[in-house]
Amino acid sequence: MINQTTKIKEILDKKNMTQTDLYLKIKSSCKTILGRDVISNIVNGKKTNYEIYTLLKICVALNVTPNDIIEKEDFIKTQLK
């Protein structure tokens, strides 16, 4: 998924949000935060296998469901026989 637009990036663009906006939203709504580097790696598709709590923090901050974010097609292409 590297160098391709991720679903999270598309959602951020649609909501006119930056990665910093996402970071601040997570910081204000969750007890524990995600590092800016973690957010960057997820948004840019460099990190695709992360914890469910990380996914849920992003979902809460963006007001979306996990299905809106998960790159199912990429998983099917790369992980299934």
Tell me what pLDDT residue 76 has: 83
The domain limits of the chain are 7-79
In whole angstroms, give the CA distance from residue 46 to residue 48.
Answer: 6
In whole angstroms, give the CA distance from residue 66 to residue 37.
Answer: 21
Tell me what pLDDT residue 44 has: 94
Judge residue 74's burial from the number of C-beta atoms within 10 Å of its C-beta, 0-12 exposed, 13-18 middle, 19 or more buried. Answer: middle
pTM assigned to the model: 0.87
Tell me what pLDDT residue 57 has: 97
Give, in words, the CATH class of 7-79. mainly alpha
Question: Which residues of the chain fall short of a pLDDT of 70?
Answer: 1-3
Tell me what pLDDT residue 18 has: 97
Tell me what pLDDT residue 1 has: 43
